[in-house]
Amino acid sequence: MQTLQKLTLPSMGCGTWAWGNQLLWGYHESMDHQLQAVFNLCVSNGVTLFDTGDSYGTGRLNGRSELLLGRFSQEYVGLGKENICIATKIAAYPWRWTRKSMVEACKSSAQRLGRNVDLVQMHWSTANYAPWQEGGLLDGLADLYEQRLVKGVGLSNYGPKRLKQVQKKFAERGVPISTLQVQYSLLSTYPVTQLKLKDLCDELGIKLIAYSPLALGLLTGKYSEQGPLPKGIRGLLFRQILPGMRSLLACLQEVAHSRNKTMSQVAINWCICKGTIPIPGAKSVEQARENIGALGWQLNASEIAELDRAAANADKKMVQNIFQTK
Q: Report the alpha-carbon angle 236-241-245, nearest 5.
A: 150
In sign, the C-alpha dihedral spanning 96, 168, 106, 291 is positive
Q: How far apart, in whole angstroms, are the C-alpha atoms of residue 238 and residue 146? A: 44
Q: What is the model's pLDDT at position 289? A: 98
**Which residue would you say has higher pLDDT here, 25 or 130?**
130
Q: In this predicted model, what pLDDT tens digit does every residue of 119-128 receive, in sequence order?
A: 999 999 999 8
Q: What is the model's pLDDT at position 2? A: 42
Q: How far apart, in whole angstroms, are the C-alpha atoms of residue 113 and residue 69? A: 6
Q: Which of 41-45, 129-133, 206-210, 233-237 has the lowest mean pLDDT?
A: 233-237
Confidence of residue 19 (pLDDT cuts 50, 70, 90): confident
What is the amino acid identity at position 325?
Answer: T
Does position 61 have pLDDT exceeding 50, yes or no? Answer: yes
CA dist 62 → 19, 67, 83, 166, 178 (Å): 11, 9, 27, 29, 27
Q: How far apart, in whole angstroms, are the C-alpha atoms of residue 10 and residue 1? A: 5
Confidence of residue 181 (pLDDT cuts 50, 70, 90): very high
The arithmetic mean of pLDDT across residues 181-207, rounded, is: 96
Domains of the chain, residue spans: 13-217+262-298
Does position 41 have pLDDT exceeding 90, yes or no? Answer: yes
What is the amino acid identity at position 167?
Answer: Q
The H-or-E segment that residue 76 falls in is none
User: DSSP string covering 1-42, please?
Assistant: -EEETTEEE-S-EEE-TTTT-HHHH---GGGHHHHHHHHHHH
Question: Which among 27, 56, 184, 211 is annotated as catalytic?
Answer: 56
Instruction: Tell which residue, 102, 196, 192, has the closest CA to residue 149.
Output: 102
Selecting from 3.20.20.100, 3.40.30.10, 1.10.287.130, 3.30.70.120, what CATH number does the domain 13-217+262-298 have? 3.20.20.100
The dihedrals phi and psi of 13, each to the nearest 5 degrees, come to -120, -170
Q: What is the model's pLDDT at position 60? A: 56
Does position 168 have pLDDT exceeding 50, yes or no? Answer: yes
Average pLDDT along the chain: 91
Q: What is the model's pLDDT at position 133? A: 95
What stretches of 35-192 adopt beta strand conformation (E)? 49-53, 85-90, 119-122, 152-156, 177-183
Q: Does residue 56 have an active-site annotation?
A: yes
CB-based contacts of 261-266 (< 8 A; 24+ apart in sequence): 261/293, 261/294, 261/297, 262/220, 262/221, 262/290, 262/293, 263/219, 263/220, 263/221, 264/214, 264/219, 264/220, 264/221, 264/290, 264/291, 264/294, 265/290, 265/291, 265/293, 265/294, 266/294, 266/299, 266/307
In sign, the C-alpha dihedral spanning 146, 135, 193, 212 is positive
Q: How far apart, in whole angstroms, are the C-alpha atoms of residue 25 and residue 230? A: 9
Q: In this predicted model, what pLDDT tens digit does every residue of 142-151 receive, in sequence order?
A: 999 999 999 9
Q: What is the model's pLDDT at position 1? A: 40
The arithmetic mean of pLDDT across residues 275-298, rounded, is: 97
Q: In this predicted model, what pLDDT tens digit does every residue of 213-238 receive, in sequence order?
A: 999 999 999 998 887 898 888 888 99
Q: Judge contact between 271 and 278, C-beta under 8 A.
A: yes
CB atoms closer than 10 angstroms to residue 58: 15
Q: What is the model's pLDDT at position 3? A: 37
Does position 248 have pLDDT exceeding 70, yes or no? Answer: yes
Q: DSSP letter at 230?
A: -
Does position 244 have pLDDT exceeding 70, yes or no? Answer: yes
Confidence of residue 26 (pLDDT cuts 50, 70, 90): low
The arithmetic mean of pLDDT across residues 54-77, rounded, is: 84
